[in-house]
Amino acid sequence: MIVLAADIGGTHARFGLVEIDVGQPRLLLKDQYDSKAATGAEELVHRFLAAHPKPAAECVSLAVAGHVVQGVVKLSNVDWQVDAASLKREFGLPVTLVNDFVAAGYALPHIGPDDFTALQGGSIPERAPIAGIGAGTGLGHVFLLWDHTGYRPCDSEAGHCDFGPADALQTELLEYLARQYGHVSWERILSGPGLTELYRFFAQRGDPPEQPVVAREIAAAQDPSPVIAAHALARSDAVSVAALDLFVSAYGAQAGNFALAVGARGVFVVGGIAPRILPKMTDGSFVRAFRAKGRFADFLSTVPIRVVTQADIGLIGAGIAAAV
């Protein structure tokens, strides 16, 4: 079966043709579009089909950043509504609509050792629950449960749960963000916009002091988070370093929270940010925060943690979702 698969987020919309057979799913070709520059999913499906008419797609499967209810979803970070029934009428093909992290969940059991970097080693027990968490334009969560013959991914909106500070600095951050937004979720911090918020938090504190040249660079950027991450990794700006340090510690803390909440015996970190900041993810701070759960620290020290570096996991998962 040839699936026109898409992984649509608030920033990028990735499209591809995925071949689903008895073996491993195979990505035949792919393309990428700017989500914010498009009017909706219909436009992008038309563009992709016009550019890639062969091999002919037999169905459409869209993984979208939002909560899917009865075949309809309002995307979380771009002003679109996607309706599976409307798309089916438009293109005359069967249409599957799934949350983007559910799609990633379908793909996780199929990734190999070359597709991830281990932060904490060990083997995932056979048929044990698995958790996935990923910061990108937003913060996604998914958990996988064994269902007779394979893993079934389950949707979660844990990124919108209340942020829980771990120390005095994070309590100060919570108060700073609450003054602006009222409710402060984990996604408010653990996302591309969240990293920018962390930079602004440290900049307004004045400790460490903000560099005017970096401030101008960030102000000029359409998306400041890659600029902040680059300065932090290069250690060329103390405010950026502080922001990324706090980001990764909070990331590890929430990954540990989610692992405990779903009883996970393996955790996969997915999403666009983690692979780009891999040197920071592997320096131990993520794992320390992950384990810092009091009486459950020893248990969490046995849970494998893997950063997924396979960039096409969402496309592959969307393809698999059409076949289940």
Sheet with 2-8: list strands edge to edge: 26-34, 12-19, 2-8, 59-64, 95-99
- Asked if omega into 55 is within 30° of 0 (cis), the reply is yes
Contact criterion met (CB below 8 Å) for 278 and 157: no
Q: Convert the pLDDT of each residue in 98-138 to its tens digit.
A: 999 999 999 999 999 999 999 999 999 999 999 999 999 89
Percentage above 90 pLDDT, the chain: 87
pLDDT digits 0-9 by tens, 50-73: 999 999 999 999 999 888 889 999
pLDDT at 143: 98
pTM of the model: 0.92
Q: CATH topology for 159-303?
A: Hexokinase; domain 1 (3.40.367)
2-111+310-321 sits in which CATH class? alpha beta
pLDDT tens for residues 194-208?
Answer: 999 999 999 999 999
User: Sign of dihedral through CA atoms 107, 112, 115, 118?
Assistant: positive
In this structure, what token pair is assigned to residue 211? 């560099």
Q: How many helices (H) and strands (E) does the chain have?
A: 13, 13
Would you list the domain boundaries of the chain? 2-111+310-321, 159-303
| Longest Cα–Cα distance in the chain | 59
Q: What is the pLDDT of residue 273?
A: 96
CA–CA separation, 74 and 81 (whole Å): 4
